[in-house]
Amino acid sequence: MDGLEHAVEVDAETLYEAVALAVAELRQDQINQSVPSGMTEFTVTVYRKPIEHKIRLNQVQKWSEHTVREGPAGITKRQRVRKLLGVKE
């Protein structure tokens, strides 16, 4: 668009959705009236939201103990954690 770079921040699940959301944002921009064409190149940068958790090892060990409350998916998750921790079955 006239050799200028424009940036928008979107929350998308796929690359294609990110570009589509960016195009929609650019089309709604009151200041910039130019519309991206088929040859417009987009640069998509993924920023993961940093989240910090603090947890004690004994809490992880206790959580990984066998239970059937969460069904097969929960059993599999707990078994994987026990295996990673080196707990013998």
Q: What is the pLDDT of residue 1?
A: 47
Task: Tell me the average pLDDT across 50-73.
Answer: 87
* Model confidence, pTM: 0.51
pLDDT in tens, 30-59: 666 667 778 888 888 888 877 888 899 899
Alpha carbon distances (Å) from 20 to 11, 53, 82: 11, 33, 42
pLDDT tops 80 at residue 4: no
Percentage of the chain lying above the pLDDT 70 cut: 92
H helices within the chain, ranges in order?
Answer: 15-28, 57-63, 71-85
Q: What is the pLDDT of residue 2?
A: 62
